[in-house]
Each structure stands twice: as C-alpha cells, then as structure tokens.
C-alpha cells in the first residue's frame, strides 16, 4: 500500500515537526553561545535502514552529511535505546568540533529508526582554544577524536577531561542528549498513532516523493557538460592557491559532480572528507529545487559526487580538516555555482564564499571553567541573481548560523565590540548589485589567542552575466594586515578588525531593471 497525496502531506508534517522539535530542545537547553545563540547545530530523523526521513532546516553544511554518521553507528550493531557519539571525520564525522549523537530508537524492542543531533562544540581540545587551529598539520592536532562509541558516563568523562571548558561541554552534551531522546519520543508517538507499518511506508513514500520532485526540477536544466575551477587561498601553512575543479553533468534527472583535476590533499587543515563535499553539492542542488520539497534521502538519490581519493575534497586519514568543513565546503559550492552560471543556469553570482571563522580563547574568565573559548563566523555579501540584488550581511552557502548578540558576547567574554556595520559599497556592481559585507571590530580586554580561518582575501567573489566582482575581505590587527589564515596573540587593548567580502553583481551596470 502506498500513502496517498493526503497522507504524504500529513506524514511529511509529522516527521518534520519531530526534527524541528529536537532542534528547539537543543537550542533552548544548551549552554554555549555557539549552539544557543548562533544555532550551529542540526537535527534529523532516520529510518531503520539508515535513510534520512526528515531534517530540521538549520545549517546546510550538516545537510545530508549525517547519513554517514548513522552508517557508522549502525556498524557498531546498535541495540534499541542505545546512544552513540562520534566526531571522527573519517568515520561518520565532518570536522572534530561537530559532535554527533545518534540514538537508536527503541520501538517495541527493536531499532525502529535513528534520532540524530549534530552540534558544533566550540571546544574539543587540541592544540588551541576553540579547536579550529589555523596551523594544524594532521587531525590529531585538531582535538579529541571520537570514533563511533556508546555514550557512557566513562566516555563523557573522557571527553570532559580533554577539553578546556568541561562545564560548558557537559551542559551542551546534556542538552544534546535531551534533544536525541525527544526524537525517539516523537517517533514512538507517531507509531502509536498510525501503526508501525504505516509510518515506515510513509517514510519511504516521502523519500520517493522528494526524489520525484528533485528529478523533475533537474530535468528542466541543461544537460551539457559544465566545468569550472576556483581556488582556495592557501591551507594555513603556506598561501599557495589550491585549485578545485568540477565537471557537472545533469542527465536523467541526476546531478553528477566530478572533482577530477582538484589539488591533492593539503598539508594544512583545508581538506574535506567526501561527506562534506557531497553535502556542498547537495546544497547547490537544493537551491535548484522548489523550497517546499521535503529534505530527506530522496533528494540525495538524485545527486552523485565523485572525486579522486586523496585529493583536497576527498581527503584520507589523517589529513587535518577543521577548515575543510567551513571554508573548502564554501569554495566547492562556489565552483559548482560558477559552472552552472557559465552554462546559463539562472543561479546567483558568487557570494562572500567564506564563513570568516574567528576563534578567541584564553584562561580563566568564567569561574567554573579552566579557560574560555569563543567561536564566531561572520556574514557577508550574497551574490546578486537574475531577479534582484544580493542580500547584505548574511551567511551564504554552507552556513546559516546567527550572530552572537553583542550583549551576550561582552557579558561572557573579555571582549568589546567597537563597531559592527555593513561594509557599504563592497558588493559588486551590476544591473543588480551584490550584497555588502560586514565590518566587525573587536577589542581584547585580556590576553588571548585569536585564530582566523578566512578566505576571499585575494580572489574576489565573481560577478555573473557581466556583473562586477565583490570586494575581497580584509583582516587587520592593530591596523596592520593579517594573512587569511593565522593565529595571533592579542594583548589587552589590541584591536582586531575583520572586513568580510561583498557578493558578486549580476548583469551589466546600467542595464534596464525589468
């Protein structure tokens, strides 16, 4: 029996609200500003076969990259009711700060599905506060590695013993656990109402529906082979350009991206496990599909991603990966968008193409922790599109985190924000202008370390269809220019200023706006 049109809508809503509810539980109960204010987290529900049934729309970089986590947990022969934790980028994870909890949902004594919550913990130990070190040369330097493990009190003690902010981590993990459990409750309630068979059937039909809609949208696009190359501006160890090359073919409603020609894995931390590359491509495909299509494994079935093993976007153990998830993923979407734009697909010009990762850390500002860490990413300009200008001061591409309110930041950390403004005029010119970047100027009130992982400081975001490029970003310490990826010591009174890139313009300047 297949679920009819009505059942599809009803069950789609039911699954989606379970995932949304999981996310709300986490955000409302978490301690760290990165999770509760910036909402750097995602929640999803999987079926017993490990296919994603629903995901709360939070952070694109987590999109579709959670199936690997479920597969990794399933390889551990989960028993009903068990909960797993992992962050190993080479076994189900993305980068170490993203700690994923996977609950095997107990349905009448069997594993009836998986409840998954991924959250960016702004401290998983390693060589530097904030666990996003710019100079890491392997994954070991980046923090504590958690292969898929049953989340026992012992494992939790191990995690807490390896981080600089154990009390905050403990609170965040408690909230994350509560969110996972809520997902299990939600699925059980659904099964109690409709019966197990009906729920399983509905999940499969929803995936088939999403796949149908995705293929239908892709089938409307051109089928010629499209290619593009774009560059990463160094790997944190040296600043040589690292090319990312993509060839795209859309055939029979399947979007195939192949990354042959991309640079080999780098010595620094800009490498991506294939899961991240896949979610970057999936994100681009998602923007080509109508927004109301439910996000589940069905969308993924219409996407194929290949890359030579050992290259930048398909890195092998033990390459360092902290920035791969946040920066290289952005460049992958940029490169794919660029190829599509050249092929006449109506996609926007490139956006800022970076998350402008800034991590601050020091010792002893909060009394209950050994140290403090603060992680933020900054919005910038979105590229303009065929239909209008690019939005300003927003996260583009693979991020959609919120900012930390200044009043939260200054109450919790020894920092003072001196300026937070739009970077007027930084968007590229065109018939429609690109969005403006932002300016953020912060003063250190105590000795601390700051780590910057940024991009688009050299190669600007490209305009499209004759539009101008966006302005490159700039990092300044005490008025002097800093490299794109760097770790610096700040003394009290030192001022760090970040100017984020503008988005590319679309169409020729002066063209009539219709």
Partner 1 sequence: MVRVGVDVGGTFTDLVAVEADGGIRVRKVASTPADPATGLFRAVETLGAAAIAVLVHGTTVATNALLERTGARVVLLTTKGFEDLLWLRRQDRAALYDLSRAYPDPLVAREDVIGVAERMGGGPEGEVAPLTDQEVRRVVGAVRALRPEAVAVAFLFGFRHPEHERRIARAVESALPGVPVAASHEVLPVFREYERISTTSAEAYLRPRVSAYLGRLSGKRRDGSIGSISAWRIMTSSGGTLAPEAAAQRAASLALSGPAGGVVGARLVGEAVGILDLLTLDMGGTSADASLISGGAAVSEGAGTVAGVPLALPAILIETVSAGGGSIAWVDEGGALRVGPRSAGAVPGPACYGRGGTAPTVTDACLVLGWLDASHPLADEVRLDRAAAERAVESLGVPAGAAGIVEVAAAVMARALRRVSVARGIDPRQMTLLPFGGAGPMFGCALAEALAMRRIMIPPHPGVLSALGLAAAAERVDVIAPLHRRLAELRAEDVRDAFGPLLAQGVGHLSAATLTRFADCRFAGQGYEVTVPAPQDNPETIETAFLEAHRARYGYGERGDPVEVVNLRVVAERAVPGPRFRAKSGGRPKPGKREITVWGERVTAEVWPLEALPAGFSFEGPALLAGGDATALLEPGWRATVHASGAVIGERGGR
Site for partner 1 in 247-276 (CB under 8 A): none
- Asked if residue 157 binds partner 1 (CB under 8 A), the reply is no
Q: Is 129 in the site for partner 1 (CB under 8 A)?
A: no
Closer to partner 1 by CB, 401 or 451: give it: 401
Tokens found for residue 428: 């590229």
Site for partner 1 in 435-494 (CB under 8 A): 438, 441
- Residue 41 and residue 117 in contact, taking contact as beta carbons nearer than 8 Å: yes
Binding status of residue 405 toward partner 1 by CB under 8 A: yes
Among 421, 447, 478, 492, binds partner 1 (CB under 8 A): 421
Per DSSP, what are the bridge partners of residue 258? 247, 306
Looking only at the bridges linking them, the beta strands covering 254-258 and 303-306 are parallel
**Measured from the CB of residue 287, what is the shortest distance to partner 1 in angstroms?**
5
By CB under 8 A, what part of segment 363-402 binds partner 1? 368, 378-379, 382-385, 387-396, 400-402
39 forms part of the interface with partner 1 (CB under 8 A) = yes
Interface with partner 1, residue 212, by CB under 8 A: yes
Which of 177/456 has CB closer to partner 1? 177
Q: Tell which residue, 375, 382, 274, 288, has the closest CA to residue 332.
A: 274
Q: Binder to partner 1 among 24, 160, 267, 363 (CB under 8 A)? A: 24
- Determine, following the binding rule CB under 8 A, whether residue 77 of this chain makes contact with partner 1: no
Task: Name the one range near partner 1 by CB under 8 A: 68-76, 264-272, 313-321, 408-416.
Answer: 408-416
String marking each residue 313-352 x if it binds partner 1 according to CB under 8 A: -----------------------------------x--x-
Residues paired with 375 in a beta bridge: 359
The phi-psi region of residue 359 (left if phi > 0; otherwise alpha if psi is between -120 and 50; otherwise beta) is: beta
Site membership for partner 1, residue 66 (CB under 8 A): no
Among 61, 175, 272, 275, binds partner 1 (CB under 8 A): 175
Beta strands in 427-494 (DSSP E): 437-444, 448-453, 474-477, 480-481, 485-490
The nearer residue to partner 1, 139 or 285, going by C-beta atoms, is 285
> What is the Cα–Cα distance from 180 to 477, expressed in whole angstroms?
42
- Pick the stretch among 34-42, 149-157, 248-256, 263-271 that binds partner 1 (CB under 8 A): 34-42
Task: Give the single-character DSSP code of 388.
Answer: B
Q: Which pair of tokens denotes residue 288?
A: 């080509």
Q: Does the protein bind partner 1 through residue 186 (CB under 8 A)?
A: yes
Q: Is 166 in the site for partner 1 (CB under 8 A)?
A: no
d(CA 439, CA 420): 6
Name 9's Cβ contacts closer than 8 Å, sequence gap at least 6: none
| CB proximity list for 260: less than 8 A, separation 6 or greater | 245, 247, 306, 307, 308
Take residue 277 and report the two structure tokens written for it: 């590359």
- What's the min distance (Å) between Cβ of 37 and partner 1? 6
Is residue 495 involved in binding partner 1 (CB under 8 A)? Answer: no
Residues of this chain, 281-320, that bind partner 1 according to CB under 8 A: 283, 286-287, 289-293
Q: How far apart are CA 334 and CA 243, in angstroms?
A: 12
In the sheet that 226-233 helps form, which strands lie side by side, from edge to edge?
226-233, 241-251, 254-258, 303-306
| The binder of partner 1 chosen from 121, 182, 431, 474 (CB under 8 A) | 182
């Amino acid at each position: 029996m297949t679920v009819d049109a009505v059942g599809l809508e009803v069950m789609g809503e039911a699954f989606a609200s379970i995932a949304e509810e999981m996310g709300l539980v986490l955000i409302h109960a978490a301690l760290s500003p990165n999770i509760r204010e910036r909402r750097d987290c995602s929640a999803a529900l999987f079926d017993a076969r490990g296919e994603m049934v629903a995901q709360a729309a939070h952070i694109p970089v987590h999109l579709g990259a959670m199936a690997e986590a479920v597969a990794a947990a399933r390889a551990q022969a989960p028993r009903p009711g068990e909960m797993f934790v992992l962050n190993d980028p080479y076994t189900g994870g993305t980068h170490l700060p993203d700690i994923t909890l996977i609950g095997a949902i107990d349905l009448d004594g069997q594993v009836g599905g998986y409840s998954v919550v991924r959250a960016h913990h702004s401290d998983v130990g390693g060589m530097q506060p904030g666990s996003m070190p710019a100079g890491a040369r392997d994954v070991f330097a980046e923090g504590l590695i958690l292969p898929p493990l049953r989340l026992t009190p012992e494992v939790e003690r191990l995690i807490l013993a390896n981080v600089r902010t154990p009390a905050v981590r403990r609170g965040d993990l408690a909230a994350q656990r509560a969110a996972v459990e809520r997902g299990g409750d939600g699925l059980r309630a659904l099964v109690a109402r409709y019966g197990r068979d009906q729920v399983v059937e509905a999940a499969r039909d929803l995936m088939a529906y999403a796949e149908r809609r995705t293929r239908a949208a892709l089938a409307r696009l051109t089928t010629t082979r499209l290619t593009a190359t774009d560059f990463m501006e160094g790997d944190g160890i040296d600043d040589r350009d690292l090319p990312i090359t993509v060839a795209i073919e859309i055939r029979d409603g399947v979007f195939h991206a192949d990354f042959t020609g991309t640079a080999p894995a780098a010595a620094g931390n800009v490498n991506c496990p294939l899961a991240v590359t896949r979610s970057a491509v999936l994100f681009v495909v998602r923007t080509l599909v109508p927004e109301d299509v439910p996000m589940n494994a069905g969308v993924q079935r219409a996407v194929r991603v290949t890359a030579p093993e050992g290259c930048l976007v398909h890195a092998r153990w033990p390459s360092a990966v902290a920035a791969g998830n946040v920066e290289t993923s952005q460049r992958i979407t940029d490169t794919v968008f660029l190829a599509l734009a050249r092929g006449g697909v109506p996609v926007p010009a490139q956006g800022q193409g970076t998350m402008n990762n800034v991590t601050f850390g020091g010792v002893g500002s909060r009394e209950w922790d050994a140290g403090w860490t603060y992680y933020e990413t900054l919005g910038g300009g979105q590229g303009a599109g065929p239909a209008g200008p690019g939005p300003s001061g927003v996260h583009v591409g693979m991020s959609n985190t919120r900012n930390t309110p200044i009043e939260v930041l200054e109450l919790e950390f020894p920092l003072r924000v001196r300026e937070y403004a739009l970077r007027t005029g930084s968007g590229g010119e065109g018939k429609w202008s690109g969005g403006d970047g932002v300016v953020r100027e912060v003063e250190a009130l105590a000795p601390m370390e700051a780590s910057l992982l940024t991009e688009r400081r050299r190669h600007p975001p490209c305009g499209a269809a004759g539009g101008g490029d966006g302005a490159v970003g700039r990092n300044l310490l005490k008025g002097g220019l800093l490299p794109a990826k760097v770790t610096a010591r700040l003394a009290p009174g030192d001022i760090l200023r970040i100017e984020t890139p503008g988005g590319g313009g679309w169409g020729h300047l002066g063209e009539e706006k219709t």
